[in-house]
Structure 1
Amino acid sequence: MLPIYALQGLSKTEFVLSDKRNMTLVTEFILLGFMFSSHRAEMYFFFVILFIYFCTMAGNLLILTLVFSDQRLRSPMYFFLSNLSILDICFINITVPKMLQGLLPGGKNISLVACLAQSFLFFLVGVSNFLLLAVMSFDRFVAICHPLHYSTIMHQQLCVRLMFGVWMGAFFSIATSAIGMMRLSYCSSVLNHFFCDVMPLLMNACVNTDAIQLQEIITSSIMLLTSLLIVFVSYAKIMKAILKIHSAQGRQKAFSTCSSHALVVLLAYGSCIFTYVRPTQGQSPDYNKKVAMLTTVVVPLLNPYIYTLRNQRVREILRDNLTKSAILKKL
């Protein structure tokens, strides 16, 4: 949906100058969300997203419970995995509850403050997610390429410092542009999205936002490319080390230690590229909303099940817990 100034055939500057005296600044937005042909289809979509939401929460809470309750999972790998689960829980709770509310009567409104907060938290958690994946790839590199020194290198203090660096790096990378968006005035109250994404917000601003958009592109590109470079270098060295292993069993064991993380990396970066690197022509008006579902709904759902179903140690612990529960019930 085009902003008001575009519908009137004006630039943002012309719009502000022509309507400055009578301009009513927005204090609340309307999130259009998804449009459905019938109320029944809308309700089907509501319950599907609600089911995915509960599955995502259950999967990530299961990982957190296992990591914090079982001594066999007290290692740097599972420390980072538990932090990834926390990020996924935050990620899906930032967008999905409001999307579900928007599918109910009278639930499309969101205040300006809540909208800006949602946008800030979305990108804070999103950037943290990419930085954490880079840290996890470094952890896998140390585990495979330097197994004898793993416990010495990846000690508890370093793991905590790395997580602190992840959050601080994400915060400072988006802080300047977030402050700039908070200082803007908004003239159109309609956002053609299911959450407060940056681009729909900037389109509704009363002034020219090219500088903020450029800053967003530069900072996000630096963070994304930096994390991607760390992942690429780590996995290049991992593959080189695996190829040097002579036994097939040894290669399979080494590969299994990083296969789950590699799959999560492919999902995260693939969904991001699919969302933001897209053709400018031949796409429907709702294209952005549909592909944003990959990042906000699908990836947080798949992450915990990839780690639990593909990880042999986690499967063993789950079986042990289920066996204990069955024995206790019989008693």
Structure 2
Amino acid sequence: MDEHEEKERFRRAFSPLRASGGVLTEVFEMTTRKERRAPRAGKRLLVIALTAALALALAAAAYAADLFGIRALLVPGEGRVSLTQFQAIPEDLPPETYAKAENFLDAWAEWKAWRDEYIEKYDPKGSVGCGYDTGYGVRDETMGKMLEQIAAEHGLALQGGVRAGYVNVAWSSDTTGLTGEGFYTNEELAELTASFAGSGSIFAETPVGFDKVYWFPEGNFCVSWYYELPGGEWITCYGCNSRYDVLTNSREVGTAALVDSASFKARSHTAPDGTELTILSNGQEAYIYAWLENSFFAERVSSDIELTDEVLDDIADTLIYSRIGK
């Protein structure tokens, strides 16, 4: 077998692994170089090179398949996740959904680049906010006008500041033992989600308890609720819905920094209503997210007890995603 035939055989053997042809050619050339004084070294080099090529190919295939789905939530360079602003978009989304999500990311990237350059150049002394949500990082009138301009050019609404009368908040009287304005029973809170979340209650069944529920006029909302294990222990679930047509920042909900993002294993799950979900878990902490027609929904699940796949599937199935944003 001549060198050309050997090279083609090498390519065919590794092509299913999706490594680039250039990489495989380079590895092949490395392994077929002849050294007269060290004939046995070639075999060892071949094994090492093939192993390296295989590892590279598998890593590339894993990245392409989004087996490390934490990328959708992990804020680059900050080591934390965001429940209110997705960070990456899978290529296999429906074209209409992809276009909406891409437009959002383009707008945020444009604003962030302009904001950072402006702050570095002029060092504005105003306090962060200036009537806008503090997560935008606006410090003066000029920045506010540019934020509004960028949002308008992309057809996006702005989420206002978290101030009295702007964000609506409700709590559970069943969970807290308190009553009065803003407090509802668990059943009433579950039903209340129909008034701001979409076409009906987003819960398939009433949770055992709520921490809080809050929503904004533009359509974004968050629900913090509890799931009860068979043994009676409660698990905290914190879900946020962010519309593609609202320029939401990534700091609306704070989450702990991820010590080891690679420890999260990703898998897919289909909810009873047919919604395709991604579930990420390291056994103690989990994230569940879905690319919906008009919004991105992400939820953090945390517990001191091991989170099994069965428990996470049941938590995921508690929500009716097809009603959100409709």
TM interval, short-chain normalised: under 0.3
Give the greater-gyration-radius structure (CA): 2
Give the structure-2-normalised TM-score.
0.26
Higher relative contact order (CA 8 A, sep 6+): 1
Q: Which has the higher strand share?
A: 2
Give the structure-1-normalised TM-score.
0.26
Q: Which has the higher helix share?
A: 1
